[in-house]
Amino acid sequence: MFLENTKKSGCIELICGSMFSGKTEELIRRLKRAQFAKQRIATFKPTVDKRYSDLDVVSHDSHSISCTPIKTPSRMLQIDPDVQVVGIDEAQFFDDSIIGVVQELADRGVRVIIAGLDTDYLGKPFGPMPGLLAIADDVQKVHAICVRCGALANFSHRLSDSRKLVVLGEKDTYEPLCRDCYNKAVKEDKEG
């Protein structure tokens, strides 16, 4: 006798990498595929991210999907029980409470797809990302192309003099660099 498995299986998928590596583009692609499959989705981003739109997650290539901007990750736990997929953009801007929130969502049977910078402009692990990497069922590291030499880029080099950890910006504020070009740029920044 065949018994249909009706249990919802949750999981945590993490998309990480440097600026301009296609993290948000991949998040949007996965969410739109879920919509195409007639799955109910809910998408969130931190309220601090207002670069392109207040109410949409928008990639550098101008693809978008509607979202709910939130201040604290606990807000995600209030989703409708019928939601099957939760998307989260710019996860590095949330505090560490996001780790427990996404675990709870996955334990409820929700597929959670997260995108975020794995390192900050200093090349150090960014916010809750190390904890999210540790609990993710699947991790995809995406790469930009180094604007100086054409190699794969893993680093987001800040072009401004600001020393604040969070500085929202685009190509006028950051450039993707490979390890060698990043180390040279940091050395030039210190000398200059």
Task: Render 150-178 in DSSP notation, one character per residue.
Answer: -SEE-EEEE-S----S-----TTTEEEE-
Cβ atoms of 132 and 117 closer than 8 Å: no
Q: Which residues are catalytic?
A: 90
Q: What count of other Cβ atoms lies within 10 Å of the Cβ of residue 133?
A: 16
Among residues 85, 150, 113, which one has the least CA distance to residue 24?
113
CA dihedral 86, 74, 127, 120 (to 10 degrees): 50
Residue owning tokens 């981003």 = 45
- Tell me if residue 161 falls in helix, strand or coil: coil
CA distance 143 to 24: 12
User: CA-based diameter of the chain, in Å?
Assistant: 74
Bridge partner residues of 68 (DSSP): 44
Q: What count of other Cβ atoms lies within 10 Å of the Cβ of residue 85?
A: 21
